[in-house]
């Protein structure tokens, strides 16, 4: 009886990999179907936009400094 249970478990384990292609592979389909993936994307875009905005601003301020230096000379 114990060996039978072991065989069933082994077969179940193997079958997980046997059907590994196609719809059996767990992906974030749930996240996509209920639209929460857009929350993920929105947060990341927000963070990226924040970093880029900071970068662009810093460059503007630097440009002004360089210009001041140029004008002083």
Query: Which CB atom, from 10 or from 63, has the smaller least distance to other proteins?
Result: 63
Task: List the one residue from 6, 8, 11, 41 that touches other proteins (CB under 8 A).
Answer: 41
**Residue 6 or residue 24: which is nearer to other proteins going by CB?**
24
Shortest Å, Cβ 34 to other proteins: 14
Residue 56 and residue 50: Cα distance in Å, rounded?
Answer: 10
Q: Which tokens in the block code for residue 56?
A: 């662009």
Q: What would the two tokens of residue 70 be?
A: 């140029």
Q: Is 35 helix (H, G, I), strand (E, B) or coil?
A: coil
- Tell me how far apart the alpha carbons of residues 11 and 21 are, in angstroms, rounded to a whole number: 17
Residues that bind other proteins (CB under 8 A): 17, 20-23, 25-28, 37-38, 40-41, 44-45, 48-49, 52, 55-56, 58-60, 62-63, 65-66, 69
């Amino acid at each position: 009886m114990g060996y039978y249970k072991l065989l069933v478990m082994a077969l179940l384990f193997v079958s997980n990999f046997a059907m590994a292609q196609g719809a059996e592979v767990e992906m974030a389909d749930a996240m996509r179907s209920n639209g929460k993936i857009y929350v993920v994307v929105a947060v990341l875009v927000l963070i990226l936009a924040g970093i880029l905005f900071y970068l662009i601003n810093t460059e503007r301020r630097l440009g002004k400094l360089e210009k001041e230096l140029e004008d002083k000379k």
